[in-house]
Amino acid sequence: MRDSDSVRADLDNSAHDFVRPFVVTGGRTTPVIDGLRIETLVHTAPHAYSAPIQLEQREVVRLCQQPTSIAEIAAALHVPVGVAKVIVSDLAAGGYLTVREAPELSTAAIERIRDLVRAL
């Protein structure tokens, strides 16, 4: 077992590593690109790997080497979907990401997803 001072030090260190979502977006809550949905697919443009971008944006660029949904990006960054939308829209507006709508799901696919979620 660890002593309480060690646990407290770990908590203090993790608190310093946390960045508030509004800091990541510069206080903005509205994406510059309208109409982004959680299932929107995002893919990194080749020149984005050498771009002078912030830490969170660099992580999105890394995550989107393969098409990735905004919901998956939010989960990977541990931020709300709205914050992920702002980050994605900034990168897309800068030409660092390509954005395309996900194909429509069939009723059978939606029912399958529902059944899998219920099984969890």
**Strand residue runs (E) in the chain:** 41-44, 68-69, 97-100
Confidence (pLDDT) at 85: 92
In the predicted model, is pLDDT for residue 25 greater than 80?
Answer: no
Using the structure block, give the residue that is written with the tokens 């949904």.
69
**Whole-model pTM above 0.85?**
no
Average pLDDT, the chain: 77
Confidence (pLDDT) at 108: 82
Task: Please write the tens of the pLDDT for every residue from 45-63.
Answer: 887 767 777 778 888 888 8
Contact 48, 97 (CB under 8 A): yes
Going by pLDDT thresholds of 50, 70 and 90, the confidence category of residue 34 is confident
Query: Which residues is 69 bridged to in the sheet?
Result: 41
Using the structure block, give the residue that is written with the tokens 């931020």.
79
What contacts 84, CB < 8 A, 6 or more positions away?
Answer: 60, 70, 71, 73, 74, 77
Higher pLDDT, 116 or 60: 60
Average pLDDT over residues 4-17: 49
Q: Is 68 helix (H, G, I), strand (E, B) or coil?
A: strand
